[in-house]
Each structure stands twice: as structure tokens, then as C-alpha cells.
Structure 1
Amino acid sequence: MEHQHEANKEDHEGHDMSNMQHGSNPSMGMAGHNHHAMMITDFKKRFYIVLILTIPIMLLSEMIQHFMGFNWQFVGSQYILFALSSIVFIYGGLPFFKGLVDEVKAKNIGMMFLIAFAITVAYIYSVAIVFGLQGMDFFWELATLILIMLLGHWIEMKSVAGASKELELLVQLMPADAHMVMPNMVHDVKTDTLKENDIILVKPGEKVAADGIILEGESYLNESMLTGESKPIQKLKGDKVIAGAINGNGSIKVTVSHAAKDSYLSQVIKLVDDAQKSKSQTQLLADTAAKWLTIIALVAGITTFFVWYLSGQTLAFAMERMVTVIVICCPHALGLAVPLVVAKSTALSAKNGLLIKNRTAFENARKITTIVFDKTGTLTVGKFEVSKIISLQTAFNENDIIRLASALEQQSEHPIATGILQKVKDLSITIPSTENFNAITGKGVEATVESKKILVVSPGYLKENNLTIPEGFTANDTETVVFLIVNNQLAGYIALSDEIRPESAEAIKTLKENNIKSILLTGDNSKVAKSVSDTLGMDSFIAEVLPHQKLEKIKDLQSKGEFVAMTGDGVNDAPALAIADIGIAVGSGSDIAAETAGIILVNSNPKDIVNLVLFGKATYRKMIQNLIWATGYNVVALPLAAGVLYKQGILLSPAAGAVLMTVSTVVVAINASMLKVKK
């Protein structure tokens, strides 16, 4: 996974990635964005000033006068023209000269070099004419060229800013202030001063200022911007809340779990930012194409000049052709083709609960042939729920059984205990107190409740103590059962199961439609694995696998030529995630540090995995469309600019070339902005 970092080091074609650098620490208020905004205003201002100056330049130009049929030549008129044009050349051309210097320093000549070269040639030639060289000056072409170049850059930077705006929206989710609860008052503080264990108050309708645990109160929270989950989620005392989530109508107090810079949202912003800067194969392809285009432009431009000049055309004509070729060739559209899609797709993914850490992994999602799912927590909910309560004695009804069992389980952290306690909570049953509590190792627990001796035990305990397993008792393959014994009499049993997520079946079906195999890989027993695999209609399952064996299973699949994506919860699946072609870590925001995975799913929702594959395909398509458009446009326009169809009366002026170039850039920008996540 390290290779993409190398690519990050060499910066991209002069200006076009610099537009995307947002300052290194997003929570520091987007220093880079402000710089970007200043550049946009700068281009805008230069554009308007050049526009005002271009009007008299046009009117004073011999060619335009000739064309319009009037003659305004007066003594010294060409010197006024020269003076005005010089202002346009120096003031309007300055950003391009700066860019040229940067590119030469970086030994990476590109767009800025080309533009600066073209306008300098046009200017020097025109000045020579004013001071005695025979021919027609080029001033109006020079002015319109600079004007359109400034406009093009201004539009282009605005579109890049648009793509990065989603990132700013994420930043704005973080409220600037928080209500800190002091012993005798509530005090407003800046969010970034909060630290672990501070207590904050979140009023109805406000944004949560920090990640934390609810200390008191309950409410519904909308986390859709962070996790893509559209329904507001009910949060009670003890539940986790994420900074940036919008509070519903309840007031809650939250114990802060870490400082703002470590919050889930800051991590997301940092990941989005890094991903926008990280290069993928497609990006590197575009960079190479842009570099070649620059070289071709210079060679083609100079060749065009010599061909026309040596074949007997005027110096002015040959110069004009050269400048037009160079302008047409500016690889703006190419330089933007990929970064715009990258910016848009990364930000969109983040909004939809997909965090892309590695661009290449994301673009390769289109090649996936097999997805290996870890069962618990991805395809299943990952927590036990009571599926049935059976009473075996008339003295006890179902509520008695769960009530007595819960008394013993209230001390325990075990998933089964959690499941039983949740059921009691749902049924609003009061849990009685216990005495003489004792754990029977590996078999269950015993205690005295309401002066009865109660045991909650596994089927194994019944066998060992020769208690008869009740008639008609059949444990479903996917269920876990505990028995309740009251005063040495079997009173009943409770069955629990880890339920399959409602979205799983649909996700597997969509994968099938896209010819992607789904395989279940689990440490659970074969019966459970088979049951889940069959229920969901998966292609196959591999059960009773220990974490270190998962890696081997992935390698086996790869050796059969499969392009494998592995989804796992990051911790015990790290080696398997690293070896898979694409590692997708599933899990709540707290485990964002799933270092080995290229992509992180915020919600452990299997449908997001399908969205990821489809969105990866859509993103790749957009990039390729943009690259085809950007190169195709140059292939057609360059020969026209060089004057191939001159005999047929088709000739592009430098200004027309510049307009075409701007249009192609805008087409690429619009195409990128049309990217969407299909739900």
C-alpha cells in the first residue's frame, strides 16, 4: 500500500493540484482554501482590468479598423497601442510568468510555460513592428488571448473549488463553540479547547461539538452527513455520539471522549484531504499525457512556424500560427480531467459513509471478482438477540423466565447476557436483586433470587448432571440456548441468535447481478456458516477459520486468478485485509485507524460495499470519459491551428484557439460534477 505515498511527493503539473492543497491540518481552518479563494479573486480582478484595456487596443488595431472599414490612424497612435498592450502583457501575463518560473524550478514544464511562451513571442514580435519591422502587429490578438486565458483559469479554479467544497462542508459540520458544563454554570468555550472527560451540553437542534458518551438525557441524532444513515438514530444514556451530528428535540449532556483534533470528523476530513492528494494510476497516466502534450505543443508550434515561414508566408502569419498551436495545446482539460473527478468522488464517498484512504484501491474496485465477507458484524448484526422464550412449567410464564434469568445475567459482559438484558429492557420488566452469586466455570451462573435457588446454564451442564433435556427441544443451527433451573427443577429455556442484517440479502443479490462472487469466511461453526450462507444465497462459505488462516484462504483465491476484496473488522483481520487486492475495513468510526485497509466503511452495512464497487466503476468511467475528451479535442484542434485546412479557408485565430481551450476545460469540469453515488 506504500506505493502511493511516493507519488504524492512529486507535485502535480504546476497550478492544477496546488488548487487542491487545503493546508495540512483541516481543523486549522483551511488555510489552503483561503489562499485558493484569494487566487480566484486575483484572476477575476485581472480579467476585468484586462477587459477594459482590451477595448481601446481593439479599436486602435489596424487589422480591426481595416475589418470595420474605418481609419483612426493618427500620429503616435501605435505608441498608445504599444503602451496599453504592454500593461496588458505585464499585468495580465504576470500569473503565467510566475507559473513559468515555478515550472522551470520544478523541472516540470507544463501549461504555464506554454502560455507564457506564446504571449511573449506575440509581444516581442509586435513591439518589433512598432519600432520599424515590416508587417502587421499582433497586439489585439495578444490582449484577447491574455483575456481569455485569465477567464479560463478563473473558471477552472472555480470548478476545482466547487469540487473541494464538499470537504469544506465537512469542516463546517464542526461547531465552533460548545456549552461546557461547570459545577455551577454552563460556560461557552471554543470547541478546539475541549479535552477528554469535559462535560458539554447539546441543546435541541444544535450540532454535537465533540465525540463522547451521553451522560444524561436522550434524543434522536441525525448523523447522515457523517455516516450516510438517513434516519435519525435514537441515543440514550451511555450511547456514543459523533461530533458534527445534529441533535433532535432532546437536550443531552455528553462526556467528551477525546480532543477535537482526534474526533471522528477530523479523521474523516484528514482522510478525504489525503485521498484527494493521493495519486492513483489514472492520475499518473493523466500527468504523463499532460507532460507529453506540452512537449508536442512546443515542437509542433516551432515546426509550424518554420513550415509556413519557409514556404513563403509572412513572418506575421507564421508567428500567428505558432502562437495558436501552442495555445490550443495547453493541456488544461487534461490536467483537470482526473483531479476534478478525484475531488468530487472522495468527498461524495465520505458523505456516504465510504472513507477512501487509497485512491488506487478505490479505482480498482471495478476489477473485483470475489468479495470475501467476515460474518459477524458485517452480514449479521453482531449482537445476540432473544429469539424465543419457552416455559416448561405452568408455575412460570415467559416473563418470569426472562426476569429470573436477567437477575443472574445483570453482572455479566457476555454477548448472551447483553441479549437477555436487552429483551428485559424491551419488555420493561424490573430486574430482581440476587444473593450468593456464583459463576460455574464455562457452564453458567447460579444465585439466590427471591429466596429460590436459580441457575442459568448451557446444554452441556444438563448433560453432565443427568438432567433430561426436555421433549420437543430442538435448537436451530444458528441459535444458542440457555436453560433456567429453579430449585433443581428445569423451568424453561431462552434461545438467542445473531440476526442477519436486513440489508445483507439485497447486497449479495446486487453482487450476483454484477457477476461478483460472495464468499463467507468465519471463525464460527459450519452449521451457523452454512445457514447464513444459504439464507443469503452466497456462493460459498469457509468456516471455523482462525484469524491467521484467513490470510491463507485469501491467497488461495488469488492464486486461482480472482481479484479479491476482503471485508473485515480491521482488528483480527488485519493480515487478510493487507494481502487482499482491496482491503475494506468495516466498523464504527472509532476504528478509523484500520491502517491496513484501503477503504473504510463507516456503517458496517454490506450495501455500502456494493455501493463502493458500483461507485468505483462510475468514477473510473468519468475519468476515462474526461481523458478521452481532453485528448480528443487536442487531436482535432491542433492540425486546424497549424493551418492544415488553410487552403480550404479554415483557420483558427489565437483567440478562437483560446476559446476552444476554455470550452474543453469547462466540459471536463461539468462532466466531473455530474458524478453521483447510486443508492
Structure 2
Amino acid sequence: MKYTYTINGMHCNSCRTKVENALNSIEGAEAEVTLDPPKAEISMQEPIQISQFQEVIAQAGNYTIKVFNPNDLKLKVTETVAPAPPPNAVGKYYCPMFCEGDKVYDEPGNCPVCGMDLVTVEASEEEENKSYTDLEHKMKIALLFTIPVFIIAMSDMIPNNPLMIITDMKTWNWIQFGLSLPVVFYAAWMFFKRAWKSVVTWNLNMFTLIGIGSGMAFLFSIFGLLFPEIFPAEFKTDGGSVHLYFEATTVILSLVLLGQLLEAKAHNKTSGALKELMKLAPVEAVLVLDGKDKVISIHDIKKGDLLRVKPGDKIPVDGKIVEGESTIDESMISGEPIPVDKKADDAVVAGTINGNQSFIMVAEKVGSETLLSQIIQMVNDASRSRAPIQKLADKIAKYFVPAVVAVSVITFLVWAKFGPEENALMYGFINAVAVLIIACPCALGLATPMSVMVGVGKGAQSGILIKNAEALEKMDKVNVLVTDKTGTITEGKPSVEKLYAIHNNEDELLQIIASLNQYSEHPLAQAVVHFAEVKNIKLSETKQFESVTGKGVVGMVSNKKVALGNKKLMDELKVSVEESLEKQATAEQKLGKTVSYISIDETAAGFVTITDAIKKNSVKAIKTLINQGVEVIMLTGDNKNTAKAVADQLHLSSFVADCLPQDKLKVIQKWQSEGKIVAMAGDGINDAPALAQADIGIAMGTGTDVAIESAKITLVKGDLQGIVKAKQLSHAVMKNIHQNLFFAFFYNILGIPVAAGILYPFFGILLSPMIAALAMSFSSVSVIANALRLRNLKL
């Protein structure tokens, strides 16, 4: 018997192998696992419980197994970007913010630290939306019952209270009590549960204050309703009934619920870029097989497949065009509105839209390997990451809650001692509750994550992929930019301009060096090979090929020892370069061209001159950064003369030539030792160590996977103008966070003394719990609205 299962948590072929080996370790099971789609075909003679499969794969890593459902394929993109759950989260619930690390719970509920709804491994898209739907439903219930309570309570302010015509105040008080029950015990009961958890775990937060404040008001009202005779006269109205605060309770809870709903809605809006990116992935593709077209699922595409992309279709996976040409709209990925012309050998990206011509492409990256999937993954990870500045807000909040409770107690005691003789206790109680409510740090908790989420989404829409909130914050502080030259400042598409031969015929020398370079992926090598192809020169077999990092290449061509590289390579091989040859090479270098010396059998044979055009945006971007006070330093493996020519053209004050990978690392470490915040921009494998060492590694999206993986920010378009945009975005987000923190502290600092009654001796002004709740809610709304302004930022 053969059964099919879905495997979640696999991200690479290594994961697939681990899962397959784990399943095959079970006696009686023969498993074949595929990565894309993530399925396991398991043959077994006798039925084996799925729990047994889960047990063995959980030991192999963060993997889960469930019975295969065809609908799973529709959620493929969602599954590939979901943050990995804790290893022991199967059948359990955990906080999506990982506030308590890998801690899990047996039942659904709320995180005791951040208050977010706990999630489960098996959560579907519908379940993820359930939280917002539930909040919306509870908000409607709260409004339905709170508005009548509010009207009844406020009717006392109307001359000749019209409600008294219907029945007396005692009856209306009972009606208020009945109407408040659905609000307290259904719509807002989660707040009291969170408050209790926060006290038990001593993770004090805004729900601590909400629970204590509204809970005290509600309990006081119940006792006043049920046992009015035990209250002294100062707690009663002229009619003999006790002053009740059901309206304060329900309004407070409803306003807090409104803040939660607005936060959930804002989160949906800020993740709009992520959802739009997910929509970019097409469902089907056209496979070209044996000269015929066949429509297949996007998940059935394999590397090397030939795919036909028709006019107006979305490109299914990453690859390159092998036949035909077209114009492609890449705006949703790069942020650039102008369509890009593509021809044979040009790269195309999944999710971009083909123009009015058909072409055939070869699939090179599929599933989670595509740039689109990586973008989705990075946006998703960054949206739940925390900026260092948030640690300050969290630390303040931890001490803020007990301080506020203490102020509330002091407020009650002071009013009870020195308040009006007739109603001192009532004044003390009202003002104590007002202090608890207005001091709620709800806005403080929203200040940072709201801005980060909106900023990350805005960046993704503009082709700036930010891995985490820390990178977003640090980018604003960057004062040194270290940048690679080839592929970063320049196009990275060098071309041969001149071949200078001393003894050999030029075509003969070209045939030798092109043969040597045919196995190298270096851009300079490819330029030489392409130059030979244009001249229809047939290449020979190369043996003992070796790439010497940062220097060049060596190998055996037609039984001759051939080397092609810079002066360092010639010196290393002890090749003597004639003075006249070196003089000519130096003249070319001073013009900003790259010169590679050629040696045959340890004798200098000439040189090849290669040019690499500077990107159009590089000059403008570097000028802008310098004007902003950023010192820009260019690193290159080129010689000093070539580097200086490029540096002069860009008006750079500093550059480092003849740079090896370890040299780039040392340059960054040197600047960091001087207290500078260093950003490194690069695109190659040799840039990866420097990108990882820098405070902010910035990878060109046109570069290698290793560079992108090592960086904290990736620029999809791959030019330095993206750094200007990233710094502008970072500055705007940090400014927005500071504004939000001001809003939060402003309301608290201003509101607490007023709520405590400090203005009463001078102006007779007091703050009721209901007005306190309104002010607290307004602070949250202010923070959310301010954060959402970032969506209108022009980059």
C-alpha cells in the first residue's frame, strides 16, 4: 500500500534527505520524498500511525507531517514563507513573535508577554484571519451593549431626565448591569485573562492596567447595586442609589477593544505588500516537451524545464530566455515603472509580467529558490522582527506598570485623607481608577512594531528587501559606505576593448586565453570568451585549470602553461614583464580600464584591456550620500591606476585597489574600530565575508545567492540609488518611531497627574475613568495613524 503525505518545514535538498532517511528508518516503510512539491510517498505492508512518522522526522529537525490534501498545493507560497515553529510545536500553540522562545501551550489563548493570539502549526489561511474576524464580531457586540449603557448613564446630564419618565434610576441601574454583562464576560473577557496571566508571570503590561482599572470599576458597581445599604452616604445620589460606573467599565473595555481591532486592521494593511507579492506567483505554466506545449502546475516545474511564456502571462519561475525576446514589466519586483527589454540569455524573474511577445525560457530556480519566494520570506521575517529601540520601550513598560499602580494607590490614599469631607472615598476611588486607565502603555507597545511593519512593506514595494528591524534602524546611523566596484558601481558586464600581443598573432593569443577562461564564471573571463565567440574562434581543451582568488587564472592549453591575471599573479609566477609592456598597460589603467597580463610558459605575451561601464545611477547616488555626510569608499581587485580613474570620475575621496576578500574584511574592521557605523555594498561570493562583518550588509539583487544570504538588506534592482532610498526609508521609520514614542509618553506624562487630580485644588478639574479611557485609546489611534503615514513616503 502506498500513501501520500505533506511535509512542512523543508527548505533545501539537505532537508529532503534528512526527512527521507528518517522515514526509511522505520521498519516496514519505504519512503520517497520530494522537495517541490513537499511530499512523501510512503509504501508500507502494514498500516503505520502518522504519529510514528512525526516522531522520527521531529528528531531530524523542525519538520511536520500530515495526510496529503490537494488544496495544500494552493497554499505552497504561504507555507514556504512561514516562520519555522518551535520543534515541539506539533499539536501545540505558540506565540508567533517567539516572546518566550520555543515555549508552547496545550490550548489556544494569548501570549502572556505580548498579548498576541497563540497560533498552531496546522493553522490555515482561514484560521489566521479568524483572529481579526473574532475581534470585529466582539467589537460589534461591545458597541451594541455599550451605547445603551452610555446613554442611560449620561441621561443624568440632561435637564428633566426623560428616562425617569419611563422608570426610576434603580431600575435603570439594573438594566445597565444586564447590558454590561455581554461586554465584560464575552466581548472583553480576553483582557481580564491576559491581565491575570501578566500578574501570575509578572510580565506586567497594558492589560494589567486595563484589568485592574475596569475590573475595579465593575466590582464597585456590582456591590453598589446589590448592597447599597453598606455604602456610606457620600457614595450615594440624592435618590439613595449608589453612584455606579457600569458605563465607565463598558466604555473603557470597548475603547481598548477598538484599539486592538485597529491594530489588527493596520497589521493587515501593512502586510499588503506581502500579500500582493504572493499574488504575483502564477498558478500554472506552459511546459515545452518534445516540441509540444503542455499546461502544468507551477509546483511541477523542475530545474532545466523549457517553459513557454505567452504575451501578458506572468513568468512562472526564475530562469533565462533561450529563444525569442520580449519586453517585461518588472515594476512589482524592482519598483521601476519602465518595462525592460529582454533577449536570449537574459535573466527573467518569477512574478514579473511578459509584454506582447512570446518566448521560451529555461527554469533555473524553482519553488522557494526563486527571488519572489525569497522576497516573501524576507518581508515575512522582518515584519515580526524587533528593533533595538523597542527594547528600551519594553524595559520602560516593565517598570512603568508597578509605578502606575503605586501612583494609583497613593492617589486613593491622598484623596481619602485630604479630599472633600462628604465624598473623599468616592473621589479617591474615581481618580485611582482614572490613573490606572490613562496610564495604559498600549501606545508604547505599538510605537515601534507598527512603524517597522509599515516600513518593511514600503521597502518591499520599492525593491528594498530588509531582513530585520535591526537593519532598518542601523541604516539610519550609517556614516561610512564601503562598496565593491564591479557589479555594484559598474554594470558588472565587462567587455574586451583591446588585445595587445607581443610575439603571437592576436587571434592566436585570443584563442589561447579564451580557451583558458571557458571554465571560469568570473565576469572578466566571460568577457574574453564572448569576445572570442564574436570572432568565431574555436576553443581548445584546457587542463589543470585553477582560479587564483583575487589574482587571475592559470591552466594548460595545448600543452602550454598559460596565465591570465593582474601584476600580482605575474609576480607570483615569477613572470618578467617588459618595461615597455608595463608602460602601455599602465596607460590603459589610467583611463579607468582593467588590464590583465598574459603569460605563456612563464613568458609575458601581452595583455587584454577590459572595460566595465559605470551604472547610470552610481554617480548620482554617491553624490547624494556624500552630501548626506556618508563617507564612500570603493574597494576593488583592480590595480591602483584603474581604481583611481573610476574614483576620480565618481569624485570619491578614498579607495582601496588590489583588494582581496580578506582585505575587504580588514578595511571594514578598521573603520568599525574607529567607532564608525559601516555599510558594505557588494554582489559577489568574494564580498560575502565583508557583507557579514559590516554593520549593514547590502547585497545587489543581481548578485550571487551567497552575497544575498550574507547581507541584511538586498536591493532588487542592484544599483546604488537603492542605498539612497534605503537610508531615506530608515530615517523616515526612525523619525516615525520617535514620534510614536513621544505620543505614548506625552499622553502618559500629561494624563497621569491630571487623572490623579492635581488640577482640582486650582481649577476644580477632575478626569473621570471614561474620559481617561478615551484619552488612552486616542494615544493608540495616534500611533497607528502616524505609522500608516509611512505608506505615503516617496522614495
- Provide the TM-score with structure 2 as the length reference: 0.71
Of 592, 606, 630, which residue of structure 1 is paired with 2:744?
A: 630
Q: Alpha-carbon deviation of 1:139?
A: 1.6
Show the counterpart of 2:70: none
Bigger drift between 56-65 and 610-619 goes to 56-65
Show the counterpart of 1:453: none
Q: Alpha-carbon deviation of 1:532?
A: 1.0
Show the counterpart of 1:40: 132
Show the counterpart of 1:236: 343
Bigger drift between 652-661 and 503-512 goes to 652-661
Q: Alpha-carbon deviation of 1:416?
A: 5.6
Matches within 5 A, 1:175-190: 175-183=282-290, 186-190=293-297
Distance 1:507 1:320 in 2: 59
1:345 aligns with 2:455: yes
1:520 aligns with 2:634: yes
Bigger drift between 580-589 and 61-70 goes to 61-70
Show the counterpart of 2:411: 304
Distance 1:523 1:68 in 2: 89
Show the counterpart of 1:324: 434
1:542 aligns with 2:656: yes
Distance 1:191 1:336 in 2: 39
Q: Alpha-carbon deviation of 1:67?
A: 5.8
Q: Alpha-carbon deviation of 1:245?
A: 1.3
Classify 1:403/1:237 alpha carbon distance in 2 versus 1 (closer, same or farther; 3 Å).
farther
Please state whether the residue corresponding to 1:565 is helix, strand or coil: strand
Could you tell me which amino acid in structure 1 is paired with residue 481 of structure 2?
I
* Structure 2 contact 318–370 (Cα < 8 Å) conserved: yes
Matches within 5 A, 1:129-140: 129-133=224-228, 134=231, 135-140=242-247
Classify 1:76/1:438 alpha carbon distance in 2 versus 1 (closer, same or farther; 3 Å).
closer
Could you tell me which amino acid in structure 1 is paired with residue 198 of structure 2?
E
Show the counterpart of 2:167: 73
Show the counterpart of 1:664: 779
Bigger drift between 406-415 and 568-577 goes to 406-415
Distance 2:415 2:439 in 1: 19
Q: Alpha-carbon deviation of 1:125?
A: 0.9
Show the counterpart of 1:49: 141
Matched residue pairs, number?
643
Distance 1:438 1:565 in 2: 40
Of 216, 226, 230, which residue of structure 2 is paired with 1:121?
A: 216
Matches within 5 A, 1:433-444: none
* Structure 1 contact 141–654 (Cα < 8 Å) conserved: yes
Of 142, 153, 157, which residue of structure 1 is paired with 2:249?
A: 142
Show the counterpart of 1:573: 687
1:554 aligns with 2:649: no
Classify 1:157/1:32 alpha carbon distance in 2 versus 1 (closer, same or farther; 3 Å).
farther
Show the counterpart of 1:479: 593
* Structure 1 contact 97–116 (Cα < 8 Å) conserved: yes
Q: Which runs of 5+ in 2 are unaligned?
A: 1-85, 87-95, 102-109, 232-241, 501-505, 546-552, 559-563, 598-605
Matches within 5 A, 1:213-232: 213-232=320-339
Distance 1:298 1:201 in 2: 67
Distance 2:675 2:755 in 1: 48
Distance 2:306 2:387 in 1: 43
1:198 aligns with 2:305: yes
Q: Relative CO higher for 1 or 2, CA cutoff 8 Å, sep ≥ 6?
A: 1
Classify 1:264/1:587 alpha carbon distance in 2 versus 1 (closer, same or farther; 3 Å).
closer
Distance 1:98 1:435 in 2: 76
* Structure 2 contact 317–366 (Cα < 8 Å) conserved: yes
Q: Alpha-carbon deviation of 1:87?
A: 2.6
* Structure 1 contact 571–594 (Cα < 8 Å) conserved: no
Distance 1:458 1:574 in 2: 22
Of 488, 491, 499, which residue of structure 2 is paired with 1:381?
A: 491
Map Cα deviations across residues 109-150 of structure 1 (whole Å, 9 max, x no partner).
Answer: 212232222222111111111112232111222222223222
* Structure 2 contact 320–347 (Cα < 8 Å) conserved: yes
Q: Alpha-carbon deviation of 1:278?
A: 2.1
Please state whether the residue corresponding to 2:612 is helix, strand or coil: strand
Distance 1:309 1:527 in 2: 84
Distance 2:328 2:633 in 1: 35
Please state whether the residue corresponding to 1:120 is helix, strand or coil: helix
Classify 1:420/1:524 alpha carbon distance in 2 versus 1 (closer, same or farther; 3 Å).
closer
Map Cα deviations across residues 589-627 of structure 1 (whole Å, 9 max, x no partner).
Answer: 651664433223333312222322232222211111111
* Structure 2 contact 99–114 (Cα < 8 Å) conserved: no
Distance 2:148 2:539 in 1: 99
Classify 1:316/1:171 alpha carbon distance in 2 versus 1 (closer, same or farther; 3 Å).
farther
Q: Alpha-carbon deviation of 1:101?
A: 4.6
Map Cα deviations across residues 643-668 of structure 1 (whole Å, 9 max, x no partner).
Answer: 22224132222222222222221221
Matches within 5 A, 1:354-365: 354-365=464-475
Classify 1:78/1:444 alpha carbon distance in 2 versus 1 (closer, same or farther; 3 Å).
closer
Classify 1:549/1:593 alpha carbon distance in 2 versus 1 (closer, same or farther; 3 Å).
closer
Q: Alpha-carbon deviation of 1:154?
A: 1.6
Could you tell me which amino acid in structure 2 is paired with residue 376 of structure 1?
T
Please state whether the residue corresponding to 2:685 is helix, strand or coil: coil
* Structure 1 contact 507–610 (Cα < 8 Å) conserved: yes
* Structure 2 contact 688–710 (Cα < 8 Å) conserved: yes
Q: How many percent identity over aligned positions? A: 34
Of 568, 575, 588, which residue of structure 1 is paired with 2:702?
A: 588
Distance 1:551 1:269 in 2: 30
Q: Alpha-carbon deviation of 1:343?
A: 0.5
Could you tell me which amino acid in structure 1 is paired with residue 309 of structure 2?
V
Q: Alpha-carbon deviation of 1:163?
A: 1.5
Please state whether the residue corresponding to 1:382 is helix, strand or coil: coil
The CA RMSD measured in Å over matched residues stands at 4.3
Q: Alpha-carbon deviation of 1:635?
A: 0.6
Q: Alpha-carbon deviation of 1:482?
A: 9.8
* Structure 1 contact 51–147 (Cα < 8 Å) conserved: yes
Of 186, 206, 211, which residue of structure 2 is paired with 1:111?
A: 206
* Structure 1 contact 216–252 (Cα < 8 Å) conserved: yes
1:614 aligns with 2:724: no
Show the counterpart of 1:640: 754
Classify 1:57/1:496 alpha carbon distance in 2 versus 1 (closer, same or farther; 3 Å).
closer
Q: Alpha-carbon deviation of 1:443?
A: 11
Matches within 5 A, 1:447-458: none
Map Cα deviations across residues 550-601 of structure 1 (whole Å, 9 max, x no partner).
Answer: 2222233333343322223352233333333332233426516644332233
* Structure 1 contact 408–434 (Cα < 8 Å) conserved: no
Distance 2:688 2:576 in 1: 40
Bigger drift between 98-107 and 541-550 goes to 98-107
Please state whether the residue corresponding to 2:188 is helix, strand or coil: helix
Of 147, 162, 186, which residue of structure 2 is paired with 1:91?
A: 186
Distance 1:66 1:350 in 2: 54
Show the counterpart of 2:364: 257
Distance 2:314 2:688 in 1: 34
Distance 2:474 2:308 in 1: 44
* Structure 2 contact 285–307 (Cα < 8 Å) conserved: yes
Distance 1:357 1:338 in 2: 16
Bigger drift between 506-515 and 249-258 goes to 249-258
Could you tell me which amino acid in structure 2 is paired with residue 173 of structure 1?
L
Of 249, 274, 278, which residue of structure 1 is paired with 2:385?
A: 278
Classify 1:61/1:633 alpha carbon distance in 2 versus 1 (closer, same or farther; 3 Å).
closer
* Structure 2 contact 542–555 (Cα < 8 Å) conserved: no
Please state whether the residue corresponding to 1:500 is helix, strand or coil: coil
